[in-house]
A and B are shown apart, each in its own frame.
Chain A
């Protein structure tokens, strides 16, 4: 039974936009809810946590369907590995309520390979992927087939404090390199805010560094576990390890680095020693909200600038991290056709634009970037769009979880990374885990 819930956009600039909606959200997701609703089938949408945007989209699309279906949302945990865990367990259990799922792109192959995802009807695929950013589409593809519908795409950009960049003499209108940034924070006695915790964010960072350096973590993502070839032990891997290691050893990331995730990078960046940060666009609304709340000075906003993710080798194009969410349909769903109809509604450019403006999650459809509200809320929308064009996904393999955890365990804490040995041990460790010869 759906329960009306007042939604309060807590401390957000889009408070007005988000407040007051009664969300049609399934508070009690009783098993079988989707089957016994009589004339109107209920679709369950497993959503990752956000600021209420997906629940609002569920409501909008339910209304737009004119009684054809009702979408109820069910919340997943707040970190990607736990989301994967919950979804994989339910999918493996043959759960029939998996109508729509918000999927983290790196996990898509693991669901697609054993056939847990319902095939996309050709017409839906054509319509929903006709105008989609390349990176986002890659994250929805497995073995050359589109298996999920891109919903939104995330990327990290370089955020900087104009005052610090100026003091360090960096010309931010030109691409900058990691080396330049490290030099700048060292000379200015500031921090370079990255994510060094033993968490998914570490893989995101390492992947971006290796990709930017021209390498690849997995060279043949389609291969089976014992045939996978890794590219961590390479020149690009070594260069990546040099960067991680230097930031850790020289204390450039601050004392919190070994446990630092996206949120605390942002807090560090907002503080006295903030200088440069690689992070997702959520930073912008969050910082604005804190300023409105009065806990940060208003001058901070004017001091913040943005640019593309730093380069690893000067002059070589950067490969920023790519994240986001794709929408998939469980193969055991009772209403796959309706689920895909609902997905088409959810990913419409207007809805993507709304979602970006209200929740800070960038669209996978380039057209949505021209939406006036988007440009108004995110002055850096152009940079984000550009970054998404360059962004490279994390390895698309069914063994992503093993590879990612293996990287997290061997590349943290950052100060213990050794450019000469870490890439080699990391690669060997992951290969042994994949062969089932080692514990993770």
Chain B
């Protein structure tokens, strides 16, 4: 293990490149596919022979525009609302768990755990039946509610862990210094809690954004269909032609928010997922 700094650096460069190739290759693969012409799709090469934007035109301004853009709107809207509600509810819940003494704390945490391991497919059928009867089928709300079952548990756990690490004495200290309760909370606690809440929001958003089972089972029109479900609706020029290009282009577009969030907040996401145990 005794090695010169230069050798160390070279080793790390190689390792890093390997990891980065591992992580990004499939993305690069579908990225390249998304720029292929329809006739180029079966050429068997990684890169397109000629780079073309026809697939993007198809889904953004062409035939598949309404299909894709309405799905994109649904995905963004539903995921954001589900994330927002989950984070608000989880913040209240986690605050209570971290700060208050009440019976049933453990029950709440255990329930969250139980819900997070719940097989989604098991409740799709009854939810479908229920939503049909009460008119939530194929609506935004009809997806937001089940998304909460995906996003709430992890939000509660992550936030409870965050809140436990906050030195709440600061609040009392601020109050001693003459601040009102609200001021003390806002000035001393909010700055400490906000990053945790924000991180949780990103993780919750990823989860909602990723959903497929609810998306294909509980929607049937562009009124609520999210992007992962809409990918199955793309078609080539006729019903029988393969929609490979359009799907690839759509896949790249829905990956952009993920990449942007990861680039901007990688440190926060990692610490959120590992409960702040890692030092940057």
Interface of A with B (CB < 8 Å)?
3, 5-8, 10-12, 25-31, 48-52, 74-78, 82, 86, 89-90, 92-94, 261-264, 266-267, 280, 282, 285-286, 289-290, 293, 295-296, 359-361
Contact = CB atoms under 8 A, between A and B. Distances in A.
Contacts of B222: 26-29, 74-75
Interface stretch (B6-14, B37-45, B151-159, B172-180): B37-45
A11 B132 contact: no
A93 B223 contact: no
Given A50-B238, A93-B132, A93-B137, A77 B233 contact: yes
Nearest to A282: B238
A7 B62 contact: yes
Interface stretch (B65-73, B106-114, B163-171, B196-204): B65-73
Interface stretch (B16-24, B240-248, B251-259, B260-268): B240-248
B54 interface: yes
Contact of B240 (A10, A26, A89, A262): A262
A89 B128 contact: yes
B235 interface: yes
Nearest to B218: A89
B241 A286 contact: yes
Nearest to A52: B63
Given A49-B239, A289-B237, A6 B62 contact: yes
B57 A49 contact: no
Interface of B: 37-40, 42, 54, 57-58, 61-63, 65-67, 69-70, 128, 132, 137-139, 220-223, 232-243
Given A29-B222, A31-B139, A49-B233, A282 B241 contact: yes
B66 A3 contact: yes
Contacts of B57: 8
Given A8-B57, A11-B54, A51-B237, A29 B63 contact: no
7 contacts: A31-B139, A49-B235, A52-B63, A74-B222, A78-B239, A90-B220, A286-B238
A366 B222 CA distance: 35
A86 B222 CA distance: 12
Given A27-B66, A28-B70, A77-B232, A11 B238 contact: no
A285 B66 CA distance: 24
Contact of A10 (B42, B62, B234, B239): B62
Given A78-B243, A282-B241, A293 B232 contact: no
Given A49-B235, A51-B237, A282-B238, A27 B70 contact: yes
A295 B137 contact: no
